[in-house]
Amino acid sequence: MGFRKDREVKERVHDTYKSRQKMVEPTLCPQCGALFQKGRWIWGLRPPNFHETTCPACHRTKDKYPAGFLHVGGAFFNEHRDELLNLVHNEEALAKKDHPLSRLMGVEEKEGGVQITTTDTHLPRRIGEALKHAYQGELQLHYGEGEYSVRVSWKR
């Protein structure tokens, strides 16, 4: 008798910062000004009547609880530090334009490079892929099991 994949129980990925109930629309984040409308967080004009709640990105930042980690290092990083960090910030700006919850939380010196923390799991992967595309190098991705997190590493 064979094992059937369609009968396998899928565990949910746990994200403590995702709302458990349907949010009232429109809702405005008082810290960053992001607006929850039509089922997602967007940048938009402040509506006349709105509810207020802290968005998941501001909540994570306040709690200092990142969803994404990106380590950028290696000899190439040490020689091209400013150039690489400019790419990091440009990728964040591009992502944040359409996705208000995709933000950098911090850039900290760590073990021959920098440790970058983010409010979501997509931004570190996006930055890592941009680094690999622009400068080649070695990219590694590790997603957290059963939790909403990712660890990305790029070096050259």
- Tokens 């709302």, residue located: 19
Residue 53 in domain = no
Helical H runs in 67-121?
A: 75-79, 81-98
Average pLDDT, integer, range 38-60: 95
Picking from 27, 42, 34, the residue whose alpha carbon sits closest to that of residue 61 is: 34
Q: How many domains does the chain have?
A: 1
pLDDT tens-digit series, residues 71-87? 999 999 999 999 999 99
Per the CB < 8 A criterion, the answer to whether 35 and 47 are in contact is yes
Q: Which domain holds residue 89?
A: 62-155
Residue 7 pLDDT exceeds 60: no
Per the CB < 8 A criterion, the answer to whether 58 and 31 are in contact is yes
pLDDT number for residue 14: 58
Residue 150 in domain = yes
Q: Which pTM value belongs to this model?
A: 0.86
Residue 24 in domain = no
Residue 115 in domain = yes
On the CB side of 137, CA atoms within 13 Å amount to: 23
Cα–Cα distance between 110 and 28 in angstroms, integer? 36
Residue 147 pLDDT exceeds 90: no
With H, G, I as helix, E, B as strand and everything else as coil, classify residue 4: coil
Q: How confident is the model at residue 5 (pLDDT cuts 50, 70, 90)?
A: low
Kindly state the helix (H) or strand (E) to which residue 126 belongs, with its residue range.
Answer: helix 122-135
pLDDT tens-digit series, residues 8-44? 545 455 566 777 678 899 999 999 999 999 999 999 9
